[in-house]
Amino acid sequence: MTQKYTNDSNISLPMAVWLAQDEYKHDPRPNHISVTALLRSTRQLILSKRLKPGEGLEDVSLLLAARLGTAVHSAIERAWLTNHQDSMLDLGYPKHVVDNVEINPLKPDPKKVQVYTEIRKERQIGNWIVSGEADMICDFHVHDVKSTSVGMYTKGTKDLDYSKQMSMYRWIMPDLITEDMGYIEFIFKDWSLIKSFHTPNYPKVPVLQHKVPLMPIKKTEKFINEKLIQIETFMDADEPDIPLCDDKELWRDPPVYQYFSKATNARATKNFDSETAATSHMLQKGTGVVKTKPGKAMACLYCRAATICSQRTTLASQGLLASSAS
Ligand code: SF4
C-alpha cells in the first residue's frame, strides 16, 4: 500500500494513528465529482488529480481540523440515531412532538416530521455524476455543521460558499430539500465567554445557527455546469495555463494599510482596512508613512497539489505565503 501521510513533527503514534484515519469514501469512477470538490479551485482540483501515488503527501499535523470535524459530525449523527427521543424529552418537548419525528425513513409518513442524517445522493449532469452528503435535513431544510473559528462567522466571507454548498445539495436532492433557506450550524472552537460579554457582534453562544439563503435551482445548475466545463477545458492543459487560484481560493486576507509615525519604525502605529483612511490619518498627523501589508495565502498550506504548482512557487518567491507554507 502506498504511503499517504508524513509525520514531520513527530506527533506521537497514538494521536498520529487517529489523524491518519481517513473516513472519506473515495469514489473511483472517473466521471464522479463531489460537491466538496466543486467548491475547490479548478487549479487545485486538476493538479491534485495529476499526483502520482506517493506524491503530494499530507502531513498529519495539518489534519487536526478535518479529523475534529469528522468526530463532531459522527457524534451528532449518533445522537440523532440512538438518542434523539430521550434528548428531546430532556429538553422539554412534549411526547406527542417527539413521537412525530421520523429518522431516515425509507417510506416517509407525510403526517410526520422527517429528519435525515449524513444522507448521500448523486445526480447526473452531462457526462458527470455529482454526489453530495448533507449533514442533516430537517423538515425539508438543509443543515450543514461547521466546527470553525468565530472569525469565520463574524467576517461572513464564507457565506457565499456555504450557500453554494447547500444549494448543490438541494439540486441533488430536490425531493428532500424543498425550502429556500439553509442553516449553518456553527460550533466555535475558539469561543470565549469573556469576549461574548464585551465584544460587539461576537456570538453569545458557542453553538449558533446561521441562516443562509440558497441559490435558485437554475442558478445552481448553471454554476455546476460552468465549473464542470472549466474542469473539462483545462483537465489536460499545461500546468501554467490552468487558471490561477484567486485571492478567495487562496484564503488570503485583504491587505492591511499600516501607518508608521516614522518610516524607520519596525512596528506600525495604527492599522487601517483602507488606503484612503490610512493616508488621511497620515495627512492629519502631518508626518509618517503608509505601507501596504498584503494578505498571505493560507490555502497552499493545506493543498495537496502544492508540490507541483508553479503559482505556489511564485507566491513563495514574493513572500506571499503564510509563514508555515513558505
Ligand atoms: S498550491 Fe496554492 S496556488 Fe497552487 S493550487 Fe494549491 S491553493 Fe492554489
Ligand 1 atom closest to residue 245's alpha carbon, by position in its atom list = 8
Report CA(302)–ligand 1 centroid distance (Å): 9
**Whose C-alpha lies nearest to ligand 1, atom 5?**
44
Comparing C-alpha atoms, which of 237, 249, 242, 154 is closest to residue 192? Answer: 154
Q: How high is the pLDDT of residue 325?
A: 42
215-247 residue pLDDT tens: 999 999 999 999 999 999 999 999 999 999 999
Which pLDDT value is given to residue 156?
87
Cell of 254: 485583504
Residue 238 CA to ligand 1 centre (angstroms): 15
Confidence at residue 56, expressed as pLDDT on a 0 to 100 scale: 83
pLDDT per residue as tens digits for the range 115-135 = 999 999 999 999 999 999 999
Q: Report whether pLDDT(159) > 90.
A: yes
Nearest to 168 by CA among 210, 113, 128: 128
Using a 6 Å cutoff on CB, does residue 325 contact ligand 1? Answer: no
The average confidence (pLDDT) of the chain is: 94
pLDDT recorded at residue 212: 97
How far does the centroid of ligand 1 lie from the alpha carbon of residue 205, in Å?
35
309 C-beta closer than 6 A to ligand 1: yes
Count of C-beta atoms within a 10 Å radius of residue 210 = 17
Q: Is the pLDDT of residue 83 over 90?
A: yes
Distance, in Å, from the CA atom of 153 to the CA atom of 201, rounded to the nearest integer, reads 10
- Closest by CA to 51, choosing from 301, 237, 304, is 304
**164-169 mean pLDDT:** 98
Q: Which domains does the chain have, with CATH numbers?
A: 5-234 (3.90.320.10), 240-317 (no CATH)
Asked whether 250 and 44 are in contact (CB, 8 A), the reply is no
pLDDT digits 0-9 by tens, 8-39: 999 999 999 999 998 877 888 999 999 999 99
Task: Check if 137 has its Cβ closer than 6 Å to any atom of ligand 1.
Answer: no
Give the CA distances from residue 156 to residues 136, 142, 193, 230, 249, in Å, rounded to whole numbers and listed in that order: 22, 19, 21, 27, 15
Which of these, 178, 170, 111, 174, lies nearest to 144 by C-alpha position? 170
For the residues 168-188, what does the mean pLDDT come to? Answer: 97
DSSP for 154-189 reads HH-TTHHHHHHHHHHHHHH-TTT---SEEEEEEEET
47 close to ligand 1 (CB < 6 Angstrom)? yes
pLDDT of residue 326: 42
What does the pLDDT average to over 48-67? Answer: 90
Name the pLDDT band for 46 (thresholds 50, 70, 90).
very high
Task: Give the per-residue pLDDT at 53.
Answer: 81
* Closest C-alpha to ligand 1, atom 2: 300
Burial (CB count <10 Å: 0-12, 13-18, 19+), residue 227 = buried
How many A from CA of 311 to the centre of ligand 1?
7
Give the residue from 215, 36, 31, 24 showing the smallest Cα distance to 124.
Answer: 31
* Band (324; pLDDT cuts 50, 70, 90): low
Region of 212 please: left (phi>0), alpha (psi -120 to 50) or beta.
beta
Residue 151, CA atoms < 13 Å, CB-side half-sphere: 3
The answer to whether 90 and 112 are in contact (CB under 8 A) is: no
Residue 252: partners with Cβ closer than 8 Å, 6 or more residues away: 294, 295, 296, 297, 298, 320
- Ligand 1 contact, 227 CB (< 6 A): no
Q: Is the CB of 41 under 6 A from ligand 1?
A: yes
- pLDDT tens-digit map of 255-269: 999 999 988 888 999
